[in-house]
Amino acid sequence: MRSKIRDRLQKGEVSIGSWLNLGSPLAAEVLACAGFDWLAVDTEHSPVGLAQITEIFRAIEARGATPIARAWDHQPETLGRLLDAGAFGLVAPHVQNASQAEAIAQACRFPPKGRRSLGTGRWLTWGLDYMKWFDGEIVVIPQIEDREGIDQAEAIMAVEGVDIGFLGPSDLAMEMGVAFGSREHEEAIQHFLAACGKAGKPCGIPVGSGAAVRQRKEQGFVFFDLSADMAFLDVEAKRQLEEASRS
């Protein structure tokens, strides 16, 4: 296993993945076969347990994509268990400052670079050099979702061990008390993009369409969450029903 995320970004290319909310290994397998670089299990907002998450990771791996997860909190035990289950990257939600980012980065890598604990897990199937090898593959991705995180973006992205910056634009708009897509909202997004650039780190954003990928790519974003399994199902089902109902 190698991280398609790191491979793409190190080559100066765009990396496109998608979000998994259905808790279905089969849905994950279908999207991996579609050609996404990576797929993220959303453990923050999906009713999935760790055993189910592990099976989803296996389905993603089997079809050649890179499995990652959005964690439900920042606790080292949580992050370690998701990594032990097979995540090759972690999105940490609601990161507000550099201290949080540093603690997350430390929890995701083994000593001497970090403080991740080594215990029995799926790593055994990858061989005895796992610790050294995996620290070079994992991507640590703080997600910025409020004004405090935007204000502290440069410090967050300068943290050693943080690999990619990622926005949560919906929560950001809600926390700011502004409309999604408003001038204030877009200014905050562009501020974060600039902060990632100053730190020399890739910047990512969720988008709802291929057209939005192209638009944000022109601005400098390179890491994209393109929709989600649930959204693909919802949109296509409605589209097909509408088409079938036309007289």
Residue 68, sorted as left (phi over 0), alpha (psi -120 to 50) or beta, turns out to be: beta
**CA 149 remoteness from chain centre:** 17
Decide if 226 contacts 18 (C-beta within 8 A). Answer: yes
Tell me the pLDDT tens digit for each residue of 114-135.
Answer: 999 988 888 888 876 888 899 9
Decide if 210 contacts 224 (C-beta within 8 A). Answer: no
Q: 10 Å Cβ neighbour count for 2?
A: 11
Q: Which two tokens stand for residue 20?
A: 């998994």
Dihedral sign computed on CA atoms, order 208, 90, 141, 152:
positive
State residue 137 phi and psi, 5-degree precision: -105, -35
Tens-digit pLDDT string for the chain (247 aa): 789 999 999 999 999 999 999 999 999 999 999 999 999 999 999 999 999 999 999 999 999 999 999 999 999 999 999 999 999 999 999 999 999 999 999 999 999 999 999 888 888 888 768 888 999 999 999 999 999 999 999 999 999 999 999 999 999 999 999 999 999 999 999 999 999 999 999 999 999 999 999 999 999 999 999 999 999 999 999 999 999 998 6
Look at the chain and report how many structural domains it folds into.
1
Tell me the pLDDT tens digit for each residue of 142-161.
Answer: 999 999 999 999 999 999 99
3-class SS of residue 148 = helix
The single residue of 45, 74, 94, 185 carrying the catalytic annotation is 45
Helix-helix angle 169-176:183-199, to 10 degrees:
120
Residue 158: which of 106, 89, 207, 102 has the closest Cα? Answer: 102
Provide the 8-state DSSP code for 88: S
Provide the 8-state DSSP code for 68: E
Kindly report the pTM of this predicted structure: 0.96
Burial 86-102 (b: 16+ CB within 10 A, else e): bbbbbbbbbbbebebbb
State the CATH number of the domain containing residue 77. 3.20.20.60
What whole-number distance in Å separates Cα of residue 161 and Cα of residue 84?
18
What whole-number distance in Å separates Cα of residue 164 and Cα of residue 177?
26
Domain of 17 in residue numbering reads as 4-94+103-245
What whole-number distance in Å separates Cα of residue 79 and Cα of residue 70?
9
Strands 15-20, 66-70: pairing kind: unpaired
Q: 10 Å Cβ neighbour count for 220?
A: 13
Known active-site residue 74: no
3-class SS of residue 12 = coil
